Structure 1
């Protein structure tokens, strides 16, 4: 059996309760702290985490559940969550639907079974209404990143997708473009609805013509963007295209160049997300950067307010963080 707090107290010349206070982060006299740290190091003492959990009725762990751990966009969100969790002295347990063969809502059992103190559900997919209703009715600490189904009573954080596309259209309008096409994404992606909404709102507010023939759907892949742009180019008449993600934009860029149109002299192309390769294609892609780390930090901060009992009506708050327009070389003036 390893050393106990009784051993630490005896070697440091203090009481067991003083050792306990120090280990739980409470203030002790400077000379007492020095004696305790020396004793802990000499004895190679480690706290009994399970015993501490029983005393505090906490695991000091949170779960972070993502729909696919290989999604490159989640790395920034995870960094943001970890930053806040580390400051709070918490560990993160990372789980993926694809590796655990579960649906998102089933991971709430981790909370109900007391394995974690809170849970952050991260997904860019649309969430089922019944799942959101279950989340809303739960009294446990839960935070969402992504779709909240426009449902009140749920704490969620996301990027303002509509504002991002709106700013893109405004930027193109400022360059003199009046005929602007759009390539949308798959229906299962929650952001798709709001990005298209931003396009329609900007076109209307700027008094620009919305031509249904200039709107094409893709699956948010390079190939999907390539095929969508080839179809758009048959319609002709537009001078710029807003692709609703960068992979689509890169496919559209290639289709445009193969069609014999110079980008950006004859056609302007814009993406969304600012993935790494966007800076390295030719011409480099103008796009919108999502604040992934800030999203993660905001979600974690909200979760810990719930864990600490200081939610302050956060259950009814939906935070939309503004993306940033990144201007590169794929757009030109008319």
Structure 2
């Protein structure tokens, strides 16, 4: 740093601020000149030496259930963007919805001495294993009812409101028999969405019918396979889906059965991922602000780490319905 400072005509303190990403009060011209000189001189930061001195590795772990699911892809991208902005490296771990892999990754990340971990929980849970594991670094969770003790940050998307708005939209169009094709989960967001579905029906005087609720996997194959095998309950005119992938599965099935969407069947997805806008018709869905959620998880966790205040904090995130082409008034037969 002394050598770079001499070459650039600045103080060692200024170089230190720039290479450690604490340069908010440094002119952009100076910052770029220092970084260019660092590169030209072939210097790089010795992260091992720095971590031994500061007890900080500038690394975070991010655990996701299924990176192929666009919801987790978008959330991971938001987390990575924020981590890079803050001068951190993010290690991504994919659990395939397995609690064993989730816990294995948690142990490995702690062994790597990451500064913090973000856990987007797998669908599979094991209360005993979770309660026995001691996570010795600050960690954040998303939407989950995991049994890990003492999280620092929890980001909670309003799943109840998203489902409620979706059902209310369909009821407002005149639909009476609305199916809910939900995904398999033991996590709290599943209960919240189910409650939103039932409450919206009740508010509008529609009796809940258990035959209109079905459970399958959170993917195209699950929704498509269920409908191919079971079809629709007679007079069903609309389907709420657990995510956009399931909505795509319903759309594929409808096309095979020559069912017009939205003329004969309205479909609503969940998540507002890329799949909802590249499909034909474009899918009405619930926006959960995936990218923003990833940013918030990292930002809030780093603030906790920097302040060394690990009292639990919960950050609510609103959801809202995005109306596109897959919903409309039911046809009168």
- Does the C-alpha gap of structure 1 residues 201 and 153 become closer, same or farther in structure 2, counting only changes over 3 Å? farther
Q: Secondary structure at the match of 1:264?
A: coil
Q: Which runs of structure 2 are paired with 1:240-259 in the superposition (5 Å)?
A: 240-259=238-257
Using the TM superposition, give the Cα deviation of residue 89 of structure 1 relative to its aligned residue in structure 2, in angstroms: 1.8
Structure 2 residue aligned with 1:171, among 160, 169, 172?
169
Distance 2:61 2:188 in 1: 22
Using the TM superposition, give the Cα deviation of residue 74 of structure 1 relative to its aligned residue in structure 2, in angstroms: 2.3
Using the TM superposition, give the Cα deviation of residue 152 of structure 1 relative to its aligned residue in structure 2, in angstroms: 8.1
Distance 1:204 1:304 in 2: 42
Confirm or deny: 8 A CA contact 1:125 1:189 kept in the other structure: yes
Structure 1 residue aligned with 2:52, among 51, 54, 58?
54
Distance 1:174 1:305 in 2: 43
Structure 1 residue aligned with 2:322, among 318, 323, 326?
326
Structure 1 residue aligned with 2:118, among 106, 117, 120?
120
Q: Which residue does the alignment assign to 1:144?
A: 141
- Over alpha carbons, which structure has the higher Rg? 1
Distance 1:77 1:332 in 2: 30
Counterpart check, 1:87 vs 2:77: no
Distance 2:226 2:213 in 1: 9
- Does the C-alpha gap of structure 1 residues 249 and 66 become closer, same or farther in structure 2, counting only changes over 3 Å? closer
Confirm or deny: 8 A CA contact 2:131 2:149 kept in the other structure: no
- Give the TM-score normalised by structure 1: 0.78
Cα offsets for 1:280-312 (capped at 9, x unmatched): 444332222331111111111221122113547
- Does the C-alpha gap of structure 1 residues 168 and 127 become closer, same or farther in structure 2, counting only changes over 3 Å? same
Confirm or deny: 8 A CA contact 2:131 2:147 kept in the other structure: no
Q: Secondary structure at the match of 2:70?
A: coil
Using the TM superposition, give the Cα deviation of residue 266 of structure 1 relative to its aligned residue in structure 2, in angstroms: 3.0
Cα offsets for 1:144-164 (capped at 9, x unmatched): 234234888433224322221
Using the TM superposition, give the Cα deviation of residue 57 of structure 1 relative to its aligned residue in structure 2, in angstroms: 1.7
Q: Which residue does the alignment assign to 2:64?
A: 66
Confirm or deny: 8 A CA contact 1:221 1:248 kept in the other structure: yes
Distance 1:16 1:151 in 2: 43
Confirm or deny: 8 A CA contact 2:179 2:238 kept in the other structure: yes
Structure 1 residue aligned with 2:304, among 284, 295, 306?
306
Q: Secondary structure at the match of 1:283?
A: coil
Distance 1:275 1:12 in 2: 46
Distance 1:331 1:17 in 2: 59
Q: Which residue does the alignment assign to 1:288?
A: 286
- Give the TM-score normalised by structure 2: 0.78
- Does the C-alpha gap of structure 1 residues 41 and 74 become closer, same or farther in structure 2, counting only changes over 3 Å? closer
Q: Which residue does the alignment assign to 1:279?
A: 277
- Does the C-alpha gap of structure 1 residues 79 and 26 become closer, same or farther in structure 2, counting only changes over 3 Å? closer
Distance 2:24 2:74 in 1: 35
- Does the C-alpha gap of structure 1 residues 311 and 298 become closer, same or farther in structure 2, counting only changes over 3 Å? farther
Deviates further, 281-290 or 223-232: 223-232
Confirm or deny: 8 A CA contact 2:118 2:139 kept in the other structure: yes
- Does the C-alpha gap of structure 1 residues 312 and 188 become closer, same or farther in structure 2, counting only changes over 3 Å? closer
Confirm or deny: 8 A CA contact 1:124 1:147 kept in the other structure: no
